[in-house]
Every structure is written in C-alpha cells, then in structure tokens.
Amino acid sequence: MDRAVNTRVGAGAQINGRLTGKVALITGATGGIGLATAELFAREGARLVVADIDGGAVDVLAARLRADGAEIMGAELDVSAADQWARVVESTQRRFGGLDILINIAGVVDWGGIEDAEREQWDRVIAVNQTGTWLGMKTAMPLLRRSGSASIVNTSSVLGIIGSGAAAAYQASKGAVRLLTKTAAVEYATRGVRVNSVHPGVIATPMIREILDEQGDRQPDIVRTPMRRAGLAGEVAYAMLFLASAESSYVTGAELVVDGGLTAH
C-alpha cells in the first residue's frame, strides 16, 4: 500500500461553493477525518468552528485556514463535558449569529474485548463517542432548528454495524451512535434538521496508523476489504460534505458507509 498518497482528496479540485453562507461546527477537527473535513468545508465556502480537545492544535489549524481566506473560529472542546459544549455553542452564536451544520467526529478507541476492557477505559469511550455525540446534538439543536434547513452528521463506524470480536466499548458506542442518529432523524424530520451517520471502514488516520504501518496490506480488515486498501480521510470528508449540503435535502436517518466494500460481504 502506498503510504505517500495525499490524504487530502480533491485538495486541488475546483471550489464549487457547496457550503457558501453556511456555518458549520466540526468536532475532532485537528486530526484524520476531522482535519480533512475542516479543510474541505473551508474550500467549499463554509464559515467554520473548528473544535478539538487539543487547544494548541486548534489554534494552529484555525490560523492556517484563516490565512487561506476562510472565516474561522477555533474552540477547545472536550465533547464529554456539557459545560464546554454550552460555551462553544454560545460563542458560535455570538460570532456567526447561528449554526447550520454540526459534524460530530471526535472519538476515541479502546481495543479491549468483553473480558479485557477495563471500566475506566469503557467509561471514557462511551463518554466521548456516545455521550459526546448526544450532548452536541442536544446543545446545538436550538440554533440548528432556527436555521430551518440544518444538517447533523454523526460519525459512527462499520463497527457500529458489524461485529469484530474486539473493541467492546468502541463497538457499543458506535452502534449507539447509529441508532441515536436514526431516532433524532425521526424526531426532527419536520422541524428543519436532517440527521445522518457516516460509517468509515479502515481509514489511514493517526488512530490506526501504527497498525497499518506494521501490518500493511496484510492487516486482516484490509484483506477482507474488496478494494484491498485503506481509505483516505479525504474520501470520508466528501461523504460528510454531501450529507451537510443541500444536495442531500431528502436524506435523513441514513447510514452512509465508506468502507471499500468491507460490509458488502
């Protein structure tokens, strides 16, 4: 597998302004899929709130995107903390006057199975991946409803659909995000907010790069993937863009799988 492939798919592509005039808040924005999504949304004309638990990395990203001409607000955010969500949403309203798009990407993983997982690790994974997604929707929803044509995209995983025999807390959290998304989609279908989930497969992000570097094309999930390669963060970002834009105006409660065919078996 060629590790030198540019993860910023479409970095030189024509800007179409698919998000011009929209305000988008992206969590987990400084690494992997979050970074690719922030860069793509900025190129497509969105006014952005880039949020991450790493405040220093947020400042660096915000400065870089701002230098490229984007209108950016950076925010340090632990998505498992309700008070921090309240602060970021309030700051978003003050800075931009509203919110049209919420992209919940922030997440953590623990590979322990049922017997191996420790309670502290379990609680942290559930707090970030599951509770953090709910808190984001709950806190941002008043602003999103005011938009009249808002979109929420929650990041689940193929491991929110199929079992792996490991990563018990991660799988539990991502399965919960999948159904949380669907129930929110039904609840807000006539209230101006669409809610969908994206389910990445094996993506070459920092979260799993050590495994990919060690095992390469022999990594079991890549062997099982019909396309026989890991995906790029930018390939997931384009799925986020479709669901965030008006092009998906009749799509809600859907699960968009980006996995090279892994779950097609």
Q: Is 170 a catalytic residue?
A: yes
Among the options 170, 188, 238, 250, which is catalytic?
170
CA pair distance 82, 132, nearest whole angstrom: 8
Q: Give Cα separations from 66 to 19, 58, 169 (angstroms).
A: 17, 12, 37
CA pair distance 265, 251, nearest whole angstrom: 25
Residue 51: which of 66, 35, 65 has the closest Cα?
A: 35
CA pair distance 49, 161, nearest whole angstrom: 30
Q: Give Cα separations from 256 to 2, 18, 64, 162, 163 (angstroms).
A: 26, 19, 30, 14, 18
Active site residues: 170
